[in-house]
DNA sequence: CCGAATCCCTTTAGATACTG
DNA sequence: CAGTATCTAAAGGGATTCGG
């Protein structure tokens, strides 16, 4: 049957577009950075525990303490994915008990700089956005 | 009872941290931009249908065509949230049937510039990341 | 033509408990 | 100390249908 062309074409277009999206680097990066804890880990490692210092290595337990709300599962998962991308490096010292520290790589540091741009934009425009939202909600 | 201090303190710390996160402008912006279609709509309005042109207004149906994979629901939802934040403006012409067009505001345009930084980073480093991933997976 | 409302499924992330 | 495993809750997103 050569019928149902409309739905068929739509489905085909969608498949192609999704393939295009999957190959799009920007989308990939956004997907990576969008994780709830990814930027927080980047910030912690890139600007110190209070987000105002210098990049420095931190231990697993230190990260867990700084990111107070995170569960061990999510911390491990986030760290592993960042390590996989080469954004952070993991170093295990053969002490007893074992000591593990994480540090931004050069690549991770450059991403941290980019993410900071987002932070700057949001801080610069947050009031404006909040105001717009209030007006929109008020206008109903 | 002043017991169960450990679990209690942990819960308290978490609550405070979550409150801190909720107030963090960067987190708010990331949450907004992280939607699957948000950046695509911004790009379409900010760089034309093929992402290589000038900012210009587009109609609902034109956006639906360009973003081939999107469902009407998500398009409406995305557009409304962007309009609420004052990032795009919506104009309805009282024709029959009604004609609606969307356009970036100044605020939306500036966000688009910031988002482009992410795009540039990801394009510049995609090969490096891919290579890192392959090495990581290979090393098992 | 534009968009709202409903239903359903998949993905994500949090709680908890346990191991080297 | 540094993780892993399992289970469950919640959110995001898609298909479909209906109204202005």
Q: Give the chain A residue nearest B22 (alpha carbons).
A: A36
Q: Give the chain B residue nearest A83 (alpha carbons).
A: B136
The CATH number of whichever domain residue B128 belongs to comes to: 1.10.10.10
DSSP labels, B21-69: HHH-HHHHHHHHHTSTTHHHHHHHHHHTTTTSS----EEHHHHHHHSTT
CA atoms of B61 and B67, how far apart (whole Å): 10
Residue B118 in domain: yes
Per residue in A14-32, pLDDT (tens digit) is 888 888 888 888 888 888 8
Answer whether A107 sits within 8 Å of B122, measured CB to CB: no
Which residues of chain B are within 8 Å of residue A26 when distances are taken between CB atoms? 39, 118-119, 122-123
Closest nt to B71 (CA→C1')? D14
Q: For B73 and D18, how far is CA from C1' in angstroms?
A: 13
Residue A138 in domain: no
pLDDT in tens, chain B (140 residues): 445 566 677 777 788 888 888 888 888 888 888 888 999 999 999 987 777 788 999 999 999 988 888 899 999 999 999 999 999 999 999 888 899 999 999 999 999 999 889 889 999 999 999 999 999 998 76
Say which of B121, B132, B137 has its CB closest to residue A29: B121
Residue B12 in domain: no
Q: Is B95 left (phi over 0), alpha (psi -120 to 50) or beta?
A: beta
Residue A117 in domain: yes
Determine the structural domain holding residue A101 and report its residue range.
29-132
Cα end-to-end span (Å), chain B: 49
Per residue in A58-110, pLDDT (tens digit) is 999 999 999 888 999 999 999 999 999 999 999 999 998 999 999 999 999 99
Number of domains in chain A: 1
CA atoms of B116 and B111, how far apart (whole Å): 9
Q: Is B130 left (phi over 0), alpha (psi -120 to 50) or beta?
A: alpha
CA atoms of A24 and A31, how far apart (whole Å): 11
Question: What does residue A51 show for φ and ψ, rounded to 5 degrees?
Answer: 65, 20
Chain C bases under 7 Å from protein CB? 1-6, 12-17, 20
Residue A10 in domain: no
How far apart, in Å, are the Cα atoms of A24 and each of A3, A18, A28, A119, B73?
A: 33, 10, 6, 23, 23
Among A88, A35, A37, residue whose Cα is nearest residue A64? A37
Residue A18 in domain: no
Interface A-B: count of C-beta contacts within 8 A: 120
Residue A53 in domain: yes
Residue B14 in domain: no
A66-75 contacts: CB < 8 A, separation 24 or more?
Answer: A67/A37, A67/A40, A67/A41, A67/B17, A68/B13, A68/B14, A68/B16, A68/B17, A69/B13, A69/B14, A69/B17, A69/B18, A69/B21, A70/A37, A70/A40, A74/A36, A74/A37, A75/A37, A75/A41
Which residues of chain A are within 8 Å of residue B126 when distances are taken between CB atoms? 25, 28-29
Q: What is the pTM of this model?
A: 0.89
Name, in order, each residue with C-beta under 8 angstroms of A13's C-beta and a sequence gap of 6 or more. B68, B69
């Amino acid at each position: 049957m050569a019928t149902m062309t409309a739905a068929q074409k739509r489905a085909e277009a969608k498949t192609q577009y999704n393939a295009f999206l999957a190959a799009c680097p920007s989308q990939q990066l956004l997907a990576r950075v969008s994780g709830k804890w990814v930027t927080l880990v980047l910030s912690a490692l890139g600007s110190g525990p209070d987000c105002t210092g210098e990049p420095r290595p931190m231990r697993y337990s230190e990260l867990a303490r700084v990111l107070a709300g995170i569960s061990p599962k999510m911390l491990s998962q986030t760290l592993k994915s960042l390590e996989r991308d080469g954004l952070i490096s993991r170093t295990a010292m053969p002490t007893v008990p074992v000591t593990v520290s994480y540090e931004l790589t050069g690549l991770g540091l450059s991403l941290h700089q980019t993410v900071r741009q987002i932070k700057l934009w949001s801080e610069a425009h947050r009031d404006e956005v909040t105001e717009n939202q209030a007006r929109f909600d008020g206008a109903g």
